[in-house]
Structure 1
Amino acid sequence: MRHLIDPTDLTVEETEQIVALAEDIIANRAKYSEACKGKKLATLFYEPSTRTRLSFTAAMLELGGQVIGFSDANSSSVSKGETVADTVRVIRCFADIIAMRHFKEGAPLVASQYAGVPVINAGDGSHSHPTQTLTDLLTIKREKGRFDNMTIGFCGDLKFGRTVHSLIKALSRYSGIKVILISPEELRLPDYMLHEMSVNSKLEFREVRTMEEVMPELDILYMTRVQKERFLDEEEFDRVKNSFVLNPEKLTTAREDMIILHPLPRVNEITRAVDNDPRAAYFRQVENGKFVRMALIYTLLRWADENKPFDRTPVFSEEYVVNEYECPNRRCISATEDVDRLFHRQADGTCRCAYCEAKARQD
C-alpha cells in the first residue's frame, strides 16, 4: 500500500512519471474515461475547500469512478467526537482510496496508519499540501519545460503557507534551483524549513523584504495570501495582511517569460489588472490540478491492485522515538487525539515531531 502524505513520499522518478501521465491524460482524455470504473474515492474534508475538493471530485468522475464523503466535518460523526483513526476504519469499508484535508497537522499521516487503502493528504493545517505540489510541478513543466536551473520567488505568507513548504521540498531535489523568500519578519519560513534548506547542498536560498528588489531575477513568482484562519491573534493578522500586493507596475521589471503562480484563493495580493497578463498562470494552474490528481488517483489504485509492497512513509523508515517527548505545536494532531507521539531523532540530537515537524519539547 502506498500513500501520499508528503511530497517526498514519491521518488523523483515517481513524481516525474505522475506528471508525464497527467500530460498524457490531457492529450488523450477519452483513453482514461473508464480507467477507475467500479472504484470509489472518499473525500474527507474537515475544513473548507473549493478548488482541491472539486478537483478531486472531477478527477475521479472523469476516470469513470464514483465519489463519496463529506465537505463539512460537522455533518459527520466527527461532530460527536469520533477520531481520525476510527473515521478511516469506517470509511475503508466503503471506499478504495481516501483524500483527506484536515485542520490538524499530521491527521492524514494518522489516517494512513489505519485506513488499509491509499490515503492522499489534501492539506493538513499549515504543514503540507503534496497534491498542490504536483499541480505546481505540472504547471511548471507545461509553462517552463523543466524542473531544474530556475529561480523561484515565494512571496507573502511563508510561515503558514503549506503549499510553499511542500513545493520547496519537491524542488530541493533538483539541481540549479535558487529560492528567494519574500516576506515580512512575522511570516518568515518556519525554522525547521530554513534548517532543512541550509543543509541541502542542491538548493540556494536567501531572504528579502520586497519583491521589487528581486523581480528581474525570477523565472517564477509564487504568490500566497495571508491566511487569517491560521492566526491566533487578529491584531497580528491586521499588521501583515496587506504586506505584498502584485500589480502591473511591479511587473515592469519582470522577465517576459516569467510566470506567476498562486495556489488560490486570492484576496487582494494580486490585483485583477494582472489577470490579463500572459505571465499570469494561476487559472491554468487550477485546471492542471484536476489532471495531475487524475494521474495520482490512477497510479495509487494501480499500485494497490498490483499489491506493490508497502513503502512506509519516510518518517517510519528511519529510527524514531515513541512517546518520550511532547510536541509543543497546538495545531498538531498529537495535541488532541490519542496517537503515538512519534519523533525523528536528528543528527544534532534534537527530535522533531513526525506529524508536524515541530521541535520536540524535552523536559
Structure 2
Amino acid sequence: MRNLIDILDFDTDEISALIKTAEDIMVHPEKYCDACRHRILGTLFFEPSTRTRLSFESAMLGLGGNVLGFSDSSSSSVSKGESVSDTVAVVSGYCDIIAMRHPKEGAPYPALRHSAVPVINAGDGGHYHPTQTLADLMTIHRHKSSFENLTVALCGDLKYGRTVHSLIFALARYGGVRFILISPDELKLPDFVKNGIEYTETDSLEDGIRTADVLYMTRVQKERFSDAAEYERLKNVYVLDEEKLKLAKHDMIVMHPLPRVGEISADVDDDPRCCYFEQTRCGRFIRMALILRLLSDISEPDVKRMSESFEENGRRCGNPRCITSCEQELAHRFYTDANGIVRCAYCDMGC
C-alpha cells in the first residue's frame, strides 16, 4: 500500500493528478460527498495543530467518512510511555488510513512499518511536511499555471522549517527553478536540503524580494529552540509590511504556512498578492484528493525507502530531535549522500 512520508514519495505526474482532482472537488463537491462512506481516518497528533488537523478532519468528513484520534498526546497512552510503533499498530486496527504529526524527526518511518493501513506524515518535527507542500503547490499552480522557471524566495526559519524543506524538494524537480534563501546565519537551510539546487543566500528581505515570483514567509518557531534567549533575539528579525511589499513584482505571490506571529503585518492582508488564507483552503481539497488516492488501491506497492541505508555497530545519531532518541529498540540506520556524507536515515542529520 502507498504512504506519504516525504513529498518525493509522489512523482511530478502524481502530484499533477492530485491537483487536478482537488480542483475538481472544489468545483463539484457533490460528486465526492460519499466517496469515503464507512471509511475512518485516524488522526494521531502528538504535537499541537490547528490547520493541519482540522483540514484533515474536514477533508474526511467532506468525503462522507468518519474520524477518530487524539489532538494531544497527553490524552493517549503515549503519556504512559507507549512507543510510536505500538500506538500506530493498535490504532491502525481501528481505522482505514492514518494522518500523524509528531515532534520527533523521522517518526513516520517506524510508524509505517507497524501500520496495517496507509500513513500520511502530517509533520515530523523540523523535518518534512508533505501535505502542506501539496497545498502550497496547488496554490502556486492556481496563480502561476506552471512550476517551471520560477524564482522562489523563502524567508525566516529555514533551518527547522519543515514546510520549507518539503517545498524545496518538490520544486527542485521542475526545470529552471531558482531559490533565494533569506535567513540569519543561525537559521540557514540545512546542507541536506541544499544539495543539487540553484540558490543564493542573503540576510536581507529587501534584497531577496525584488526578483521573486513567490515569497514564502515562515515564523521563527519557538518550539524548536532550547535557548529561550536565542528565540527572543531572532523572532522578529523579518517582518513583511506595506513598504517592503512595494519592492516586489506586481505579480509576485506571498505565501505562509501559518500560524504567523508577527512576520507578516496584518496591513498587507488585503493585497491581492497575499495568498496565505487561500493556502489553507487549498489544504482541505488537496488532502481530500490525497485520501482518495491512498485508499483507491490498497494493494499498490509502496515506494522504496531506506533501501540504501545501513546499520553500523557503535554509530548512533546525535540529533536529540530524531526519533531514534526515544523510540524503543529502534535500529539506528544511515546512508551516504551524493557528497559522501553519512547521514541518519530517519532525520537526515550528518553524523
Aligned equivalent of 2:302, options 300, 310, 313: 310
**Where does residue 206 of structure 2 map in the other structure?**
212
Q: How does 1:1-363 map to 2 (within 5 A)?
A: 1-194=1-194, 196=195, 200=196, 203-304=197-298, 307-313=299-305, 316-317=306-307, 319-324=308-313, 325-337=315-327, 338-360=329-351
Tell whether the 8 Å contact from 1:7 to 1:166 is kept in structure 2 after alignment: yes
Q: Which amino acid aligns with 1:42?
A: G
**Residues 291-313 of structure 1: CA distance to partner in whole angstroms, max 9, x if unpaired?**
00000001000021xx1123333
Give 4+ residue runs of structure 1 displaced > 6 Å after superposition: none
Q: Which amino acid aligns with 2:347?
A: C
Q: Aligned-pair RMSD on alpha carbons?
A: 1.1
State the Cα distance separating 1:247 from its structure 2 match.
0.2
**Residues 301-332 of structure 1: CA distance to partner in whole angstroms, max 9, x if unpaired?**
0021xx1123333xx23x21124321110000
**Residues 78-111 of structure 1: CA distance to partner in whole angstroms, max 9, x if unpaired?**
0000000100110111011000000011111110
Tell whether the 8 Å contact from 1:323 to 1:340 is kept in structure 2 after alignment: no
SS at 2:16 equivalent: helix
Identity among equivalent pairs (%): 54
SS at 2:286 equivalent: helix
SS at 1:242 equivalent: coil
Q: Distance in 1 between matches of 2:338 and 2:218?
A: 33
State the Cα distance separating 1:349 from its structure 2 match.
4.0
Q: Distance in 2 between matches of 1:19 and 1:323?
A: 41
Unaligned runs of 5+ in 1: none
Q: Distance in 2 between matches of 1:312 and 1:70?
A: 29
Q: Which amino acid aligns with 1:342?
A: R
State the Cα distance separating 1:347 from its structure 2 match.
4.4
Moved more, 52-61 or 347-356: 347-356
Q: Distance in 2 between matches of 1:221 and 1:302?
A: 35
SS at 1:352 equivalent: strand
SS at 1:69 equivalent: strand
Tell whether the 8 Å contact from 2:155 to 2:216 is kept in structure 1 after alignment: yes
Q: Which amino acid aligns with 1:351?
A: V
Q: Distance in 1 between matches of 2:211 and 2:113?
A: 43
State the Cα distance separating 1:192 from its structure 2 match.
2.0
Q: Which amino acid aligns with 1:310?
A: D
Q: Distance in 2 between matches of 1:176 and 1:89?
A: 43
**Residues 40-68 of structure 1: CA distance to partner in whole angstroms, max 9, x if unpaired?**
00000001100000000000000011000
Q: Distance in 1 between matches of 2:188 and 2:320?
A: 19
Q: Which amino acid aligns with 1:336?
A: C
Q: Which amino acid aligns with 1:106?
A: G
Tell whether the 8 Å contact from 1:154 to 1:223 is kept in structure 2 after alignment: yes
Q: Distance in 1 between matches of 2:115 and 2:301?
A: 16
**Residues 226-262 of structure 1: CA distance to partner in whole angstroms, max 9, x if unpaired?**
0011001111111111110000000112111110000
Tell whether the 8 Å contact from 1:36 to 1:60 is kept in structure 2 after alignment: yes
Moved more, 17-26 or 57-66: 17-26
Unaligned runs of 5+ in 2: none
Q: Distance in 1 between matches of 2:27 and 2:210?
A: 34
Q: Distance in 1 between matches of 2:148 and 2:70?
A: 38
SS at 1:217 equivalent: coil
SS at 2:284 equivalent: helix
SS at 2:254 equivalent: strand
Q: Which amino acid aligns with 2:304?
A: R
State the Cα distance separating 1:162 from its structure 2 match.
0.4
Q: Which amino acid aligns with 1:210?
A: S
